[in-house]
Every structure is written in C-alpha cells, then in structure tokens.
Amino acid sequence: MDATESPAGTAVHPVAKASRYRWVILAVCWLAYTLIYLNRTAWSVVAVDASHSIGLTVAQLGIFATALSIGYVVTNIPGGIVADLIGGRLAVGISLVLAGILTFAFGTVHNLGAGIAIQVLIGLVSGADVASFTKLLSRWFPPRDRGTAFGLYITATAFGSVLANASIPALMARVHWNGVYYLFGVLTVVVGVLCWVLLRNDPPVAVEPAGQAEPGGRLGFAAMLKNRNLMSLAAAGLGMQWATLGFLAWGNSLMVKSLGLSAGKAALVMVIVSTTAIGVKPLVGFLSDRMRGTRKTHLMILSGYFVVILVVFGLVRHYPAMLVLAPLLGLGVYGYTVLTNSTVPQYADPRFVGGSFGFANTAWQLGGVFAPVAVGAVFSATGSLFLSFGVLAIGPLLGVLLLLPIREQARELS
C-alpha cells in the first residue's frame, strides 16, 4: 500500500480503486499537450521563410518565441488559479480554443508589431493549459501511479518537437508558412472542443481524500507559501531547469564553436539527446512508482547524476565519444522532469493543485531566462566548453542541496 505525505505532513492513502476512464483522461491530455508543443516549436521551423514576408532581420528571428514565453510565464500562476476555480476541463478547453484562434490569426501577420502582439496573447491565454493537465491527472491517478502517468504524459514535449520538424517542411512546400499556422490554428480549436467533450474534472470516486479547509483565503496563498516541501521543490526545479534549458539553448553552438564540429554533427548529438526523452520519461516514472524510498530521494539521485554527466560531457573532445554519451546526457537533461511534475500534487493541497503547479512552473521557467545569458557570458569570456558546461552543472548541484529541507515519508510498496 502506498503512503505519501499531505501538505500538513500526514500520510495520504488512496481510498478507492482508480477508474479505468483515467486512461482516456491521460490520452486526451497527452494529445493536447503534443499539439501545444507542436505549435510552440513551429516558429523555429518556419522562421527563415516567414521572415521574408514579415520583414525580419536575422537578429529578430527569435523575438516571437521570446514574446510567447513572456506571456506564458506571466500567466502560469493566474492560469493555475483559474484551473482551481473553474476546473481543469473548462480551463484547458477555453485556453486551447483561444490559442487556436490566435494561432490562425498569426498566419495573417505582415509586420513585426502585430506578430509580437499575437504571440504575447497566445502565451497569455496558454497559462492554464499545463496546470490544468496536472490538476486533472492528479485527480484521476492515485499517488502510487502518478509517476507512470506523468512519465507517459510528458513524452508529448518530445513528440511535439519531432512532429514539428518532420511535418512542417513538407507542409510549407504546399501551403507556405501562413498555411501551417492556419492548419494548426484549426487543429487547436478542434482539440480544445475534444477536451471539453471527453475530459472530466473528477473520477466517480476520489483517489485520495479531499484537502481540509485552510484559513486565510479560498485560494490558499498563505498555505502555499508556508509549504516548505512545495517551496523547496520549486527552487530545486529552477536549478535543474537552469541546466536543461541552458543546454538546449546553447548545446549546438557550444559544440560548433568550441570543437569545430559541423552544424549537422552537432545537431545529431542534440537529436539523440532529445529522442532519449521519449523512452527515459516513462521509464523514470514507472520505476519511481515501484521503487522504495521517497520522491525526494529519487530526485536527488537524478539531479546528482545530471551534475556528473554534464561535467563528463564537457571534458569530451572526440565526436564518437559524444555520440556514445548523448543518450546518457539525455537521461540527465530530461529524466528528472517526470518527478518534479508528478510531485507537485503530492505536496500541494488537493484543492489548489493548479495554482501550486503554476507557482512551481513559473520558478522553473526562470531557469530558461537566466541560464542562456550566464552560459553565453562565460563562453564569450573563456571559449571553454568545460567551463560552459560547468556553469550549467551549478544548477542541478544547487538542486540537490535545495531538496534537503523536504520532509517526506517513504512509501511502502506492496
């Protein structure tokens, strides 16, 4: 029998057999999240072609991705709160329909200002999506199965990126870059409606007891900020995401500029690293559900491993060795994400999972804001691959230390 810690520090036990409909919930959340990542990756594929019709310079190619990220980070917490207030089903349905309409509209832009405005709006209306998925999965899957569920669900990020790179070039040959956004806009609206039809906020019988009423406001802000486990997880996740998002932003350039690799060779390393995520995430989640010990312990092990593999990879100078190490690096880059995402519902008040995840995810995304700047500064000053990877390794190293204050009961496995 599983036992996990509630926000108050007491054990929470599943109270009923989980409904089989939970797999439908998981499949719909996965489909929607895959499409979301397909949309978010689309600009990187169409940017060069689109820049001619919009009139962008090379320096401006990344500005739309930045605009979307700004809007998304700003509404992570409000979006999570909305999911808590109106339910994940309605929140994600509204989010996807609005994002679909705006995605379609982006295909009509012909100037920089309009493009930036629409991308910011897409980010703003998308703040509730991941928090809603997290809330829904935590409602339908008992704690003993959440690692497996989140491991399968988070493969959507890798599938979305692969689909974007595999399908968009062929689509552009037929319908140009505008047509890609028209098509994805319509698909997003359709999936939003599908979410409204198929998703359910609650299972027939709760998989864990409901949270007790807390004084200090219906949204639980005070309780969230006083929750040591949640605050530690948010801070540690920021350190881990520092390394992941910093590596994804700089990996290709570091290998090309420091080692003189061709762009194609560097890209192959990155493809292997990213493709590893498809198998690594479900495996980590499955094993975490079935291994003794706490999620905290599992996270500390993975975060420590991430430090070691970054340092080792930074020392390598031979391309064949990089190809051999790439899958092992993929485990470090992506493996922990299953546990950070699936552990938020364990530490949060069950009524406020959306807002709690929004808070944690906002902290994690900040790693992607600051890490690329730090790595760029170090590499610019030293030209050293090892020192650049050392800067990345500081994040998960701090993550190990920041996880120490967490207090969590070990789970007993039957």
Maximum mean pLDDT: which of 2-11, 66-75, 255-264, 338-347? 338-347
Cβ partners under 8 Å of residue 137, min gap 6: 25, 26, 29, 146, 149, 150, 153, 345
**Whole-number Å distance between alpha carbons of 372 and 382:** 15
Residue 68, pLDDT > 70, answer yes
- pLDDT single digits (tens) 195-223: 999 999 999 887 765 554 444 444 566 77
Q: In the predicted model, what is the mean pLDDT of the chain?
A: 85
Residues 60, 143 within the same domain: yes
- pLDDT single digits (tens) 343-373: 998 888 888 888 888 889 888 988 877 888 8
Instruction: Show the domain range for 371.
Output: 221-403
Domain boundary among 165, 198, 231: 198
**Whole-number Å distance between alpha carbons of 289 and 156:** 20
Maximum mean pLDDT: which of 177-191, 240-254, 372-386? 177-191
The verdict on residue 410 lying in a domain is no
The verdict on residue 385 lying in a domain is yes
The verdict on residue 213 lying in a domain is no
Q: Are 365 and 237 in contact (CB under 8 A)?
A: no
Mean pLDDT of 308-321: 95
Please report the pLDDT score of residue 86 as a whole number: 92
Residues 234, 327 within the same domain: yes
Mean pLDDT of 36-44: 84
Please report the pLDDT score of residue 304 as a whole number: 96
CATH code of the domain covering residue 125: 1.20.1250.20
Residues of the chain above pLDDT 90, percent: 42
Residues 236, 315 within the same domain: yes
The verdict on residue 124 lying in a domain is yes
Three-state DSSP class for residue 61: coil
Residues of the chain above pLDDT 70, percent: 89
Two tokens, residue 140: 């339908």
- pLDDT single digits (tens) 107-141: 998 888 898 899 899 989 998 898 999 999 999 99
The verdict on residue 212 lying in a domain is no
Residue 319, pLDDT > 50, answer yes
* Beta carbons within 10 angstroms of residue 369's beta carbon: 15
**What is the domain count for the chain?**
2
C-alpha angle with apex 394: 391 to 395, nearest 5 degrees? 110
Residues 81, 171 within the same domain: yes
The verdict on residue 205 lying in a domain is no
Residue 159 confidence class, pLDDT cut points 50, 70, 90: confident
Residues 392, 253 within the same domain: yes
Domain boundary among 198, 213, 242: 198
Please report the pLDDT score of residue 12 as a whole number: 43
Please report the pLDDT score of residue 295 as a whole number: 86
Residues 97, 132 within the same domain: yes
**Whole-number Å distance between alpha carbons of 94 and 101:** 11
Residues 156, 297 within the same domain: no
The verdict on residue 166 lying in a domain is yes
Maximum mean pLDDT: which of 202-211, 268-277, 325-334, 400-409? 325-334
Residues 133, 255 within the same domain: no
Residue 63, pLDDT > 80, answer no
Mean pLDDT of 384-412: 88
Domain boundary among 148, 183, 198: 198
The verdict on residue 215 lying in a domain is no
Please report the pLDDT score of residue 16 as a whole number: 53
Please report the pLDDT score of residue 413 as a whole number: 47
Lowest-confidence segment of 68-72, 211-215, 217-221, 302-306 by average pLDDT: 211-215
Q: Are 128 and 13 in contact (CB under 8 A)?
A: no
Residue 6, pLDDT > 50, answer no
Residues 106, 169 within the same domain: yes
Please report the pLDDT score of residue 220 as a whole number: 61
Residue 1 confidence class, pLDDT cut points 50, 70, 90: very low
Mean pLDDT of 392-405: 95
